[in-house]
């Protein structure tokens, strides 16, 4: 006749659980990258301009995430779990673009985002349609910008541009550097269009 005893439950100590979890492996370290302003190749214009404030930079939803994204084919993205932006990408792009515009527009004509602005300050809204890092080592940026003026505000200028830059490598730092360069080129185009108004 077999014994009717129930199996004995073994209670693991919390220390043992921690040691087992630590021994199961470790995740690769997370690398954080940011964007940097690009120096202007030309001196800023000296003409008098009505003030302009960068009020918004809109980016695509698929890029609005902590991780860096690479487009591997026409309909497929790769999310790099261990390569992350140091802050939300939209905020990084707005800050960097503001720094770029500050050095390209005439002194005193550019109002920083979120800073108090005079009533006659025009508003600049930038929409990024795509900032696509491809597996073949290039980064493409498609963007438009609208300059708004008056009360109520209305569009007095709308332009768009497509720009590309080679990446110096396939890592996150190379992607961030290429995007920084393209934002500098975008600032060149935006400032030239505003000065020409």
Question: How much is the pLDDT for 19?
Answer: 47
Question: What pLDDT digit, counting tens, does each position of 104-123 carry?
Answer: 999 999 999 999 999 999 99
Determine how β-strand 52-58 pairs with β-strand 122-133: parallel
pLDDT at 22 over 80: no
Please report which confidence band the pLDDT of residue 25 belongs to, taking 50, 70 and 90 as the band edges: low
% pLDDT > 70, the chain: 86
- Name the CATH architecture for the domain at 42-195: 3-Layer(aba) Sandwich (3.40)
Model pTM score: 0.84
Q: Length of the chain in residues, anyone?
A: 197
Question: What pLDDT digit, counting tens, does each position of 111-167 carry?
Answer: 999 999 999 999 999 999 999 888 789 999 999 999 999 989 999 999 999 999 999
Residue ranges of domains in the chain: 42-195
Average pLDDT, the chain: 88
């Amino acid at each position: 006749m077999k014994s009717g005893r129930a199996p004995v439950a073994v209670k693991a100590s919390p220390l043992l659980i921690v040691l087992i979890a630590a021994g199961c492996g470790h995740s690769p370290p997370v690398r954080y990258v940011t964007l940097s302003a690009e120096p202007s190749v030309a001196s800023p214009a000296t003409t008098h301009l009505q003030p302009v404030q960068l009020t918004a930079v809109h980016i695509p939803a698929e890029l609005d995430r902590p991780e860096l994204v690479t487009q591997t084919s026409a309909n497929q993205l790769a999310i790099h779990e261990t390569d992350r932006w140091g802050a939300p990408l939209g905020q990084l792009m707005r800050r960097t673009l503001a720094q770029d515009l500050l050095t390209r527009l005439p002194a005193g004509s550019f109002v920083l985002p979120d800073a108090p602005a005079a009533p006659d300050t025009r508003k600049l809204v930038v929409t990024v349609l795509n900032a696509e890092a491809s597996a073949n080592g290039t980064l493409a940026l498609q963007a438009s910008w609208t300059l708004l003026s008056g009360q109520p505000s209305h569009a007095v200028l709308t332009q768009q541009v497509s720009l590309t830059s080679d990446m110096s490598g396939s890592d996150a730092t190379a992607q961030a550097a290429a995007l920084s360069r393209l934002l500098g080129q975008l600032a060149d185009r935006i400032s030239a269009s505003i000065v020409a108004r």
